């Protein structure tokens, strides 16, 4: 029997409309808007000024602080300005505006398509290279990768798990990368294994991608210690904790990181970026994005430079449908609804989902009928109906006891509730509040 | 007969034993309570609103009795009168405080601040604010979902359906500050109620640059600095493209109200102006 | 372009709704309704229609005039209450009593607590127990199946198998004598016996259970734990002294056990929220039912057992939590 995680879970309609469409390279944007905060942690610090000429791949902002990431020029051209721009949530954030003028790359970057297999760098050098290249978790969490690769003292990693699950409905970017960049991914994984000094890696892939499973299985023959694990389709299998549980049956304890059970999880896209950074010296300046939706005329997967306006992605897929009611950055379960399409691609953009009007709004909420379906669905074994009430009433200490902080914000509860209750909306607020309280306590 | 006697005797003995035990327990576990706590509590408004910063009126009374210097403590509901009474009981000095009132520092109703998207999440300002900037171009302004109104225990607020903004009923507002805490955008502020309840404040909290702010909302403070220049008392400062009037320094001369190009400065409870100024105003209006 | 809609994630929904679940339960009740029409004919029809109509009416009136809310009688929950109430009544109960039962169910059992979602006790059972205590004679005269198909209040009546058993054991008859008086297992399974109109046909109730499980309207935890507990408990008793205690199969197929375990104990509102809690709840119902049936004064105890466990539901919810992720962590030696 196929494995999956052990508690809760749901089965949203998969809608992988663009699974068969190969990755197309998008044209360079006329102007690249590079946000300074596109990762978790402190925004990067600009190292260029207005009027500077930059080459593609050149460092334009450096990491500031421990949790932060470098940012590189995605195009070559002139720095127009460093100014505020509304981000996906409508708040103004700093960004570097580059006026594109061709695509002249830094000479140090190897742009040949040849596969480079030998890993000459030492683990410490690998991690440094990854940090230099500004690589962050590409599944959407955007946590700086080099930090994840350096386990805290006293903790030892014994297995690397690669997330090829792509459990979000609609999204197919990782799927395509697995099919088209199999070799690069394998080398990327080998690099990661060396950096972590583990001799075992598992690629978890849901069973709805048999072609990717077969393809990578074939590739894996040539690499020591890498195996593919097909998993039963169930959301949220791509959650770090769920994936570890599904693949190796270890459960990360409440409030702890995966390293506690000896595992490190990396995304497929990240593995590819690591290959390019370490073997080709290429920083993270582009990524694969799925543009999809039932009303989109040609859903597709695109390789786009960071800083490309979302609008050009939509245009490449046949333009914005007239009945568009909602645009989501990411997948429908955990993605963020956008307030406008005048925002740029960032390192964490995994998809752009366009929903027609009729699907865009929620149904009216009703009383909780205590059906316990949210409890059955929650992959963390929480009681969402209760957490919602506690958070509405502001009973933060009870919410903490009921482990509100364990919520992974997967949305399974809101998805399931027959009364259409906005459970996660309230639980997320509860998490924020309880998190603040806990931090102020340790201070 | 003897049955009756035995019954009565048993009951008497039982009762007596229980009484002794109860008395002993009461003595043993007795806690000394300062009688003044009760006296002070009696003069407090019993609203238990938490505006004083304590979990309820009794806790506040305890704090008043315990503290040597009570000048930093204030019951906003009872105000100076109640504090004086309490101070009298305790023989301490209460600080002289001016009465306060809550003001809403956003005037962006639907006509002047057009909606740019539709919010469809749980109806709570806190949730909307943690999600995004809001359903208009202004990411500082009122979200209109009424967390403040829910927080008010004195029925002193309501949402105006037409403007989508909260309104404070001055006479009912006790300045407990619950709404100030509830608003995730920090739009509501407690300000001096002012003589004859007259006060002047900037009804905007937008820190965007003038052009951006103005584009999102016609009545936004654009940080032009005209008010700062005209104020004879140095009460106005501009930081981050936003004017702020210090209610300690403001002498209510109303000069700033006249010069503000976006009408972001509000005057409350003033008599109507003399002819001349009103005319000017009406003439100016279409130009805005 | 129209204004975009913005909301927190998730942006999709399962499409499930209160209505779908409620109507799912109603569909699941249909086989049992058909069986009752087969066995009790007109009586069953009159009782069911009256009960459903009365429940809908009371729900409507109370919501509209007492609570000043928009009536939501079409969400299906009042229909379920009406059906379940009817299923718990003998098919010759006078209309007036049914209406009283419906009024108590909806008025006291449900609306007094704030309507759907807030009632601590199963409304249909509140109505049933009220009637049982107030009108014990009418509530315990059971029309004979099939024989009284064409008659309503004047139907021929007899005792339920459980009552026969209880009387028999009390008067010291041997189990062998008693077995002759009660219907055979196959008749019990099909529902050919006296009893409340909806509880008789085991097969129909089990079909309903299967339907609800397949549609994921309920989970298996409550019905299975109730039934398993009764089987095990009465099984042990039967093994200890087969002369004194009847076989577990008899307990399973008679009285309201299946109806209770499948449709009443699983009521969303009044049952626990976590799977372990549901099992505790089910075991509790099973144990109390057997205690009442075997050692108590009443021949039947499912209704009381469910109501008693309903009262414990908040406590169960408080102390019995779902299995949390990470609790079974096996720390790994590297
Ligand atoms: S969002 Fe949180 S509470 Fe809801 S199902 Fe997911 S983990 Fe559980
Ligand atoms: S799924 Fe919805 S209705 Fe059911 S218990 Fe949870 S919150 Fe209540």
**pLDDT at residue A98 above 90?**
yes
Both A345 and A258 in one domain: the answer is no
Residue B276 pLDDT greater than 80, yes or no: no
pLDDT digits (tens, 9 = 90+) for C193-220: 778 888 888 899 999 999 999 999 999 9
A106 is a domain residue:
no
The answer to whether residues B77 and B162 belong to one domain is: no
Residues of B in contact with A425 (CB under 8 A): 121-122, 124, 127
Q: Tell if the CB–CB gap between B133 and A86 is shorter than 8 Å.
A: yes
**Region B27-41 average pLDDT:** 81
d(CA A151, CA C232): 52
Q: How far is the CA of A353 from the centre of ligand 1 (A)?
A: 22
On the question of pLDDT at A347 being above 80, the answer is yes
Residues A174 and A40 in one domain: no
- Residue A16 in any domain: the answer is no
The pLDDT of residue B1 is 66
pLDDT at B274: 67
Last residue of a domain, one of A233, A257, A280: A280
- Residue closest via CA to ligand 2's atom 8 equals A368
- Domain membership flag for residue A368: no
Pairing of strands B157-159, B166-168: antiparallel
For chain B, how many structural domains are there in total? 2
Considering only CA atoms, which of B103, B82, B94, B89 is closest in space to residue B148?
B103
Q: Are residues A235 and A377 in the same domain?
A: no
Domain match, A140 and A217 both: yes
Q: Which domain holds residue B225?
A: 100-268
Out of A339, A422, A432, name the one closest to residue B122 (CB): A422
Measured from the Cα of A385, ligand 2's closest atom is 7
Does residue B165 surpass a pLDDT of 50?
Answer: yes
Residue B2 belongs to a domain:
no
- Mean pLDDT score, A214-235: 92
Peptide bond into A309 cis (omega under 30): no
Q: CB of A384 closer than 6 A to ligand 1?
A: yes
The residue from A328, A360, A392 where one domain ends is: A360
Calpha distance A364→A324 (Å, rounded): 21
The pLDDT of residue C116 = 84
Residues B73 and B128 in one domain: no
Going by CA atoms, what residue is nearest to atom 2 of ligand 1?
Answer: A407
Average pLDDT (C302-328) is 90
What pLDDT does residue B275 have? 55
**Is A207 in CB contact (< 8 Å) with chain C?**
no
Q: Do B220 and B214 meet the contact criterion of CB atoms below 8 Å apart?
A: yes
Residue A87, pLDDT > 80, answer: yes
Give the confidence band of B210 by pLDDT, cuts at 50, 70, 90: confident
| A157 assigned to a ligand binding site | no
Average pLDDT, integer, range B107-124: 89
Q: Which residue in chain B is spatially nearest to A89 when comparing CA positions?
A: B132
**Residues B46, B114: one domain?**
no
Q: Rounded to an integer, what distance in angstroms lies between the CA atom of residue A395 and that of residue A167? A: 33
What's the rounded Cα separation, in Å, for the pair B143 and B118?
Answer: 11
> What is the DSSP code string of A144-180?
BHHHHTSPPTT----EEEEE----SSS--HHHHHHHH
Q: Across chain C, what does the average pLDDT equal? A: 87
Specify if A15 maps to a domain: no
Nearest atom in ligand 1 to A378's CA: 5
* HEC assignment per residue over A240-287: HHHHHHHHHCCCCCCCCCHHHHCEEEEEHHHHHHHHHHHHHCCCCCEE
| Residue ranges of A 307-336 with Cβ closer than 8 A to chain C | 320, 324-328, 332-336
Q: Whose CA is nearest to atom 4 of ligand 2?
A: A371
Contact C6 B119 (CB under 8 A): yes
Q: Is the pLDDT of residue C313 over 90?
A: yes
Distance, C-alpha C124 to centroid of its chain? 8
For residue A177, give the CATH number of its domain: 3.40.50.11540
Whether residue A144 is found in the same domain as residue A251: yes
> Cis bond leading into A162, ω under 30°?
no
Which tokens hold the place of A175?
Answer: 């799927």
CA distance B86 to chain A (A): 32
Mean pLDDT of B165-192: 91
CATH code (residue B146): 3.30.70.20
Measure the CA angle with vertex A117, ends A114 and A121; round to 5°.
Answer: 120
**Secondary structure letter of residue A22 according to DSSP:** P
The number of distinct structural domains making up chain A is 4
The answer to whether residues A329 and A276 belong to one domain is no
Give the pTM.
0.87
Sign of CA dihedral A379, A201, A40, A92: negative
Ligand 2: list residues with CB < 6 Å: A 368-374, 384-385, 416-419, 421, 423
Average pLDDT, rounded, for chain A: 92
Which residues of B does the annotation place in the binding site?
49, 52, 57, 75, 138, 142, 148, 152, 173, 176, 179, 183
Domain annotation covers residue B14 = no
Domain that holds residue A133: 123-280
B146 falls within a domain: yes
- pLDDT, tens digit (0-9, with 9 covering 90-100), for A160-206: 999 999 999 999 999 999 999 999 999 999 999 999 999 999 999 99
Same domain, A139 and A263: yes
Domain assignment present for residue B227? The answer is yes
Q: Are residues B116 and B256 in the same domain?
A: yes
pLDDT score at A174: 94
ipTM, 2 dp: 0.87
User: Does A274 lie in the same domain as A197?
Assistant: yes
* CB contact (8 A) between residue A325 and residue C219: no
A234 CA → ligand 2 middle, Å = 20
What integer best gives the mean pLDDT of chain B? 86
Which residue, among C326, C329, C331, would best test binding to A if mutated, counting the most A CBs under 10 Å from its CB?
A: C326
Residue C8: its chain B contacts at CB < 8 A?
A: 121-122, 127, 131
A410 labelled binding-site residue: yes
Q: Are B273 and B264 in contact (CB under 8 A)?
A: no
Residues of C with Cβ-Cβ distance to A367 under 8 angstroms? 115-118
Q: Could you give the CA distance from residue A194 to residue B99 in angstroms, rounded to a whole number?
A: 69
Residue C233 CA to residue C292 CA, distance in Å, equals: 12
Residue corresponding to tokens 């190897």: A110
Residue B57 is part of a domain; what is its CATH number? 1.10.15
Q: Is B212 part of any domain? A: yes
DSSP type of residue A51: T
pLDDT for the residue B288: 37
Q: Tens digits of per-residue pLDDT, A399-436?
A: 999 999 999 999 999 999 999 999 999 999 999 999 99
B113 and B185 assigned to the same domain: yes
Q: Take residue A142 and report the two structure tokens written for it.
A: 């955007």
Q: Which of A4, A8, A6, A2 is nearest to A251 (CA)?
A: A6
Index of the ligand 2 atom closest to the CA of residue C273? 5
Q: Per the annotation, where are the binding residues of B for [4Fe-4S] cluster?
A: 49, 52, 57, 75, 138, 142, 148, 152, 173, 176, 179, 183
> Is the per-residue pLDDT at A144 higher than 50?
yes
- The closest of A2, A1, A4, A10 to A416, measured between CA atoms, is A10
Give chain C positions within 8 Å (CB) of B137: none
Element (H, E) at A438: helix A423-442
Comparing alpha-carbon positions, the chain B residue that sits nearest to C4 is: B117
Q: Which of B161, B207, B155, B201 is nearest to B179 (CA)?
A: B155
Question: Distances from the Cα of A11 to the Cαs of A358, C123, C275, in angstroms?
Answer: 21, 33, 20
3-state secondary structure of B252: coil
- Asked if B45 and B124 sit in the same domain, the reply is no
Each residue of C40-51: pLDDT tens digit?
888 889 999 999
Compute and round to an integer the Cα radius of gyration of chain A: 21
B129 and B72 within one domain: no
pLDDT of residue B281: 43
Q: Is the Cβ–Cβ distance between C123 and C130 less than 8 Å?
A: no
Q: Are residues A157 and A247 in the same domain?
A: yes
pLDDT of residue C128: 92
The yes-or-no verdict on residue A24 having pLDDT over 90 is yes
User: Domain locations in chain C?
Assistant: 18-138, 161-319
The average pLDDT across C167-173 equals: 76
**Residue A81 with chain B: CB contacts under 8 Å:** none
pLDDT for A352: 93
Q: Are residues B197 and B123 in the same domain?
A: yes
- Cβ of B110 under 8 Å from any chain C Cβ? no
Mean pLDDT, range A325-337, rounded to an integer: 92
Distance from CA of B135 to the nearest CA of A (A): 8
Q: For strands A300-305 and B157-159, give the pairing.
A: unpaired
- Ligand with an atom nearest the CA of residue A416: 2
DSSP character at residue A339: S
Among A389-398, B27-36, B53-62, C16-25, whose mean pLDDT is lowest?
A: B27-36
Strands A45-46 and A59-62: antiparallel
* Ligand positioned closest to the Cα atom of A366: 2
Name the nearest CA neighbour of B73 among B64, B86, B85.
Answer: B64
Cβ-nearest to C7 among B115, B116, B121: B121
Residue A239 covered by a domain: yes
* Whole-number Å distance between alpha carbons of B238 and B204: 12
Q: Which chains touch A (3 or more CB pairs under 8 A)?
A: B, C
Q: Identify whether residues A256 and A198 lie together within a single domain.
A: yes
CB A424 less than 6 A from any atom of ligand 1? yes
**pLDDT-wise least confident of A228-232, B166-170, C280-284, C327-331:** C327-331
| Residue B135 touches partner C, C-beta closer than 8 Å | yes
Tokens of B69: 């210097």
Contact C6 B135 (CB under 8 A): yes
Residue B113 counted as domain residue:
yes
Q: Are residues A90 and A163 in the same domain?
A: no
What does the pLDDT average to over B277-286? 43
Residues A271 and A384 occupy one common structural domain: no
């Amino acid at each position: 029997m196929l494995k999956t995680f052990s508690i809760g879970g749901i089965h949203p309609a998969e809608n992988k409309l663009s699974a068969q469409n190969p990755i197309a390279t998008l044209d360079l944007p006329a102007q690249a808007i590079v946000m300074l905060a596109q990762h978790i942690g402190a925004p990067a610090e600009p190292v260029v000024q207005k009027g500077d000429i930059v080459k593609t791949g050149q460092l334009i902002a450096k990491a500031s602080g421990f949790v932060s990431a470098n940012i590189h020029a995605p195009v070559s051209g002139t720095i127009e300005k460093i100014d505020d721009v509304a981000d996906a949530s409508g708040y103004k954030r700093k960004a570097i505006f580059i006026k594109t003028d061709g695509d002249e790359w830094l000479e140090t970057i190897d742009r040949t398509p040849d596969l480079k297999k030998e890993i000459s760098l030492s683990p410490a050098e690998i991690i440094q290279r990854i940090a230099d290249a500004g690589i962050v978790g590409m599944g959407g969490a955007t946590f700086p990768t080099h930090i994840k690769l350096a386990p805290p003292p006293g903790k030892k990693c014994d297995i690397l798990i690669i997330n090829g699950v792509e459990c979000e409905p609609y999204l197919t970017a990782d799927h395509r990368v697995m099919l088209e960049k199999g070799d690069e991914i394998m080398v990327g994984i080998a690099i990661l294994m060396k950096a972590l000094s583990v001799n075992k890696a598992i690629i978890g892939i849901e069973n709805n991608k048999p072609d990717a499973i077969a393809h990578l299985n074939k590739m894996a023959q040539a690499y020591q210690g890498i195996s593919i694990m097909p998993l039963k389709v169930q959301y949220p299998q791509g959650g770090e904790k769920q994936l570890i549980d599904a693949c190796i049956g270890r459960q990360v304890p409440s409030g702890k990181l995966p390293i506690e059970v000896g595992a490190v999880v990396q995304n497929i896209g990240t593995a590819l970026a690591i290959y390019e950074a370490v073997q080709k010296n290429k920083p993270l300046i582009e990524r694969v994005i799925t543009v999809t939706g039932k009303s989109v005329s040609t859903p597709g997967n695109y390789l786009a430079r960071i800083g490309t306006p979302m609008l050009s992605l939509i245009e490449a897929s046949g333009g914005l449908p007239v009945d568009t009611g909602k645009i989501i950055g990411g997948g429908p379960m955990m993605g963020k609804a956008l307030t406008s399409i005048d925002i740029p691609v960032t390192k964490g953009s995994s998809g752009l989902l366009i929903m027609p009007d009729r699907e865009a709004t929620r149904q009216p909420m009703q009383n909780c009928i205590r059906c316990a379906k949210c409890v059955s669905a929650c992959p963390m074994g929480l009681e969402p109906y209760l957490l919602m009430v506690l958070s509405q009433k502001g009973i933060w200490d009870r919410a903490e006891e009921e482990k509100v902080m364990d919520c992974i914000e997967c949305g399974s509860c809101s998805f399931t509730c027959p009364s259409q209750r906005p459970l996660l909306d309230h639980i997320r607020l509860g998490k924020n509040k309880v998190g603040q309280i806990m931090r102020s306590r340790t201070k | 007969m003897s049955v009756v006697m035995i019954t009565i005797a048993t009951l008497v003995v039982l009762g007596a034993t229980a009484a002794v035990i109860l008395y002993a327990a009461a003595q043993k576990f007795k806690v000394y309570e300062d009688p003044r706590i009760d006296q002070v509590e009696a003069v407090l408004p019993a609203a238990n609103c938490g505006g004083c910063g304590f979990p309820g009126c009794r806790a506040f009374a305890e704090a008043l009795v315990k503290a040597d210097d009570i000048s930093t403590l204030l019951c906003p509901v009872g105000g100076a009168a109640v504090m004086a009474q309490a101070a009298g009981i305790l023989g301490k000095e209460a600080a002289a405080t001016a009465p306060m009132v809550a003001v809403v520092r956003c005037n962006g109703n639907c006509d002047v601040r057009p909606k740019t998207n539709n919010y469809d999440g749980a109806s709570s300002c806190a949730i909307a604010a943690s999600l995004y900037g809001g359903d208009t171009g202004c990411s500082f302004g009122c979200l209109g979902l009424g967390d403040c109104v829910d927080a008010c225990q004195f029925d002193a607020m309501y949402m105006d359906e037409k403007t989508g903004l909260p309104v404070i009923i001055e006479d009912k507002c006790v300045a407990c500050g619950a709404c100030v805490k509830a608003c995730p955008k920090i739009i509501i502020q407690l300000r001096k109620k002012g003589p004859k309840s007259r006060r002047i404040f900037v009804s905007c909290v937008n820190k965007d640059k003038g052009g951006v702010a103005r584009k999102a909302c016609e009545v936004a403070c654009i940080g032009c600095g005209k008010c700062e220049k005209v104020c004879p008392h140095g009460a106005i400062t501009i930081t981050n493209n936003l004017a702020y009037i210090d209610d300690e320094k403001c002498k209510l001369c109303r000069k700033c109200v006249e010069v503000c190009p976006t009408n972001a400065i509000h005057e409350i409870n003033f008599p109507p102006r003399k002819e001349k100024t009103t005319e000017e105003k009406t003439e100016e209006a279409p130009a805005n | 372009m129209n204004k975009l809609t913005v909301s927190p994630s998730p942006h999709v929904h399962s499409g499930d709704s209160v209505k779908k679940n409620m109507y799912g339960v109603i569909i699941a009740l249909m086989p049992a309704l058909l069986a009752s029409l087969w066995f009790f004919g007109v009586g069953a029809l009159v009782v069911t229609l009256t009960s459903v109509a009365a429940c809908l009416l009371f729900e409507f009136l109370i919501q509209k005039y007492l609570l000043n809310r928009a009536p939501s009688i079409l969400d299906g929950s009042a229909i379920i209450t009406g059906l379940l109430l009817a299923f718990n009544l003998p098919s010759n109960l006078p209309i007036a009593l049914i209406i009283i039962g419906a009024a108590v169910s909806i008025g006291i059992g449900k609306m007094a607590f704030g309507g759907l979602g807030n009632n601590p006790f199963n409304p249909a059972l509140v109505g049933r127990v009220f009637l049982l205590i107030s009108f014990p004679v009418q509530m315990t005269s059971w029309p004979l199946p099939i024989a009284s198909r064409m008659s309503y209040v004047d139907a021929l009546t007899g005792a339920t198998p459980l009552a026969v058993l209880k009387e028999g054991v009390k008067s010291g008859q041997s189990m062998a004598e008693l077995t002759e008086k009660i219907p055979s297992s196959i008749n019990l399974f099909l529902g050919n016996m006296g009893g409340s109109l909806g509880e008789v046909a085991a097969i129909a109730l089990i079909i309903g259970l299967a339907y609800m499980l397949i549609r994921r309207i309920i989970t298996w935890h409550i019905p299975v734990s109730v039934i398993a507990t009764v089987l095990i408990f009465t099984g042990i008793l039967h093994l200890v002294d087969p002369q004194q205690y009847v076989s577990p199969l008899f307990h399973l197929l008679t009285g309201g056990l299946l109806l209770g375990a499948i449709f009443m104990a699983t009521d969303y509102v009044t049952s626990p929220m976590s799977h372990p809690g549901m099992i505790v709840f089910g075991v509790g119902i099973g144990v109390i039912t057997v205690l009442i049936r075997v050692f108590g004064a009443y021949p039947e105890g499912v209704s009381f057992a469910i109501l008693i466990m309903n009262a414990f539901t908040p406590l169960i919810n408080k102390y019995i939590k779902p299995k949390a992720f990470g609790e079974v962590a096996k720390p790994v030696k590297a």
